[in-house]
Homo-oligomer: A and B are copies of this chain.
């Protein structure tokens, strides 16, 4: 029907969004998140303040890097997993693939973001779990793969756990980025997979400190 052809408009929009995100991160890393105004961000990206708010609902969203395409893309990845993969495995693969890709495509942004999130850990909380909407999307996808009713706890819990794994991993990665973020997320997901009932053996990844 509609081939996903990228029109000039689309390209411009993507560029503007990227410019705003980059500006927000660069300035926040440099001067501190609280000392940067939306006005400055918009100026650096060469658009009006009003336009900033056409792209991001809040200043927070800009540094978080909220992207409306992420949710649907991860859902697609969940369904793209092998037939015989468990719901957990499907979700795990989708999340790790998304992270790896994003880190690949925007490594510099992530390095800046690391700084900003260290300044304001509360923003980190809203990153993966950013909007209830996309979380709902993912939970529905997991539920379908698991053959569970939407009201069941498991899908929501799994998706939320993924967000939590991501959050903790970023926190740890910000503390020591000699390890790959994807690996830390993977490790965290493994702990969730096998259960938290017992303290894991001392196989600290990296063994730092």
Contact = CB atoms under 8 A, between A and B. Distances in A.
B172 A165 contact: no
A168 B153 contact: yes
Contact of A196 (B151, B152, B171, B192): B192
Interface string A178-209: 00000010011001111111111000110011
Given A129-B125, A164-B164, A193-B195, A187 B153 contact: yes
Contacts of A169: 153
B126 A132 contact: no
B151 A175 contact: yes
Copies of this chain: 2
B153 A157 contact: no
A175 B195 CA distance: 27
- The main secondary structure of chain A at its interface with chain B is helix
Given A86-B199, A161-B164, 10 more contacts: A122-B131, A148-B199, A152-B204, A153-B184, A153-B187, A153-B191, A157-B168, A157-B191, A160-B164, A164-B164
Interface of A: 86-88, 121-122, 124-126, 129, 131-132, 146, 148-154, 156-158, 160-161, 163-165, 167-169, 171-172, 175-176, 184, 187-188, 191-200, 204-205, 208-209
